[in-house]
Structure formats: structure tokens, C-alpha cells
């Protein structure tokens, strides 16, 4: 294997790692879990109560987040509480929120233009 081929393999592996990381964030319940963990560690039961999602589903989603190293369990007596492995995840979620806000703001502006155009057409008809 040449050095160039090795670099491409490493680049592909890194891209795959990134894709898997972002896939782990690609579920509404996982995002909700992370949002609730922003305020500190929580148990499955606490997350279930906050989300209204069954405990088995919460456990499944936590397993995905754990497999990517996004959350980690911590035993406290008989209770297992989860917290984020790296608080920088919140910087990523906050950046995404700003991007979404920009897209939604643009969409809202376009919607207002469409509504204004519809009113002009109705008035001139």
C-alpha cells in the first residue's frame, strides 16, 4: 500500500467516524435527551418523565449515544445517571440551533412574501 493510499484510507476512516457521530445525533429523542442532560446528570426514569417516551426507548437511544461516546453512565448507589462525555456537544447543538434559526428566518421571510403576494393578487382580482 502506498503512502497516498494509506492517507486516503485514513481520510475515509475519519469521514466514516464523523458520519457515525452525526448519525448518533440524528434522532429527535436523542436530541431531547441531550437537551435534558444539559442541566446535569439524569436517570432513565427522569428522562422518561421529562420526555414522555417509554423507558425502553430511552434506554435504546442512550445506548446509541453511549456507543459513540457522547454520553457516559455514572452509578450512584443503585441508580445509573447519564451525563455528556464532553460539554462541547452543547456548543455543537448551539451552533446547529443558530443555523436552523437562519434557515427558518429565511423561510419565514419567504412565507411573508408569498402571503403579501397572495393579498395583492386578491385585491387586484
Q: Would you state the pLDDT for residue 70?
A: 97
pLDDT over threshold 80, residue 6 = no
Contact 43, 81 (CB under 8 A): yes
pLDDT, one tens digit per residue, over 7-48 is 768 999 999 999 999 999 999 999 999 999 999 999 999 999
Long-range contact pairs involving 27-35 (C-beta distance under 8 Å, separation at least 24) = 27/61, 27/64, 29/53, 29/57, 29/58, 29/61, 30/61, 30/64, 30/65, 31/93, 33/58, 33/61, 33/62, 33/65, 33/71, 33/82, 34/65, 34/70, 34/71, 34/84, 34/89, 34/90, 34/93, 35/93
pTM recorded for the entire structure = 0.78
Q: What pLDDT does 27 receive?
A: 96
- Identify the residue whose cell numbers are 426514569: 45
Domain borders along the chain are 1-86, 87-125
Q: Which residue has the cell 417509554?
A: 54
pLDDT at 1: 56
pLDDT in tens, 54-107: 999 999 999 999 999 999 999 989 999 999 999 999 999 999 999 988 888 888
The CATH code for residues 1-86 is: 1.10.10.10
Res 123 pLDDT > 90: no
pLDDT band at 3 (very low <50, low <70, confident <90, very high): low
Q: How far is it, in rounded angstroms, from Cα 81 to Cα 43?
A: 4
User: How high is the pLDDT of residue 101?
Assistant: 87
Amino acid at each position: 500500500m502506498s503512502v497516498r493510499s494509506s492517507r486516503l484510507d485514513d481520510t475515509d476512516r475519519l469521514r466514516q467516524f464523523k458520519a457515525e457521530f452525526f448519525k448518533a445525533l440524528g434522532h429527535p429523542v436523542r436530541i431531547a435527551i441531550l437537551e435534558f442532560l444539559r442541566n446535569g446528570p439524569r436517570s432513565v426514569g427522569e428522562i422518561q418523565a421529562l420526555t414522555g417516551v417509554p423507558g425502553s426507548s430511552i434506554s435504546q437511544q442512550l445506548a446509541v449515544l453511549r456507543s459513540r461516546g457522547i454520553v457516559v453512565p455514572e452509578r450512584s448507589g443503585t441508580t445509573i445517571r447519564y451525563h455528556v462525555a464532553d460539554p462541547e456537544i452543547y456548543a455543537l447543538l448551539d451552533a446547529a440551533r443558530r443555523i436552523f434559526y437562519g434557515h427558518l428566518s429565511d423561510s419565514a421571510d419567504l412565507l411573508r412574501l408569498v402571503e403579501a403576494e397572495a393579498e395583492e393578487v386578491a385585491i387586484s382580482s
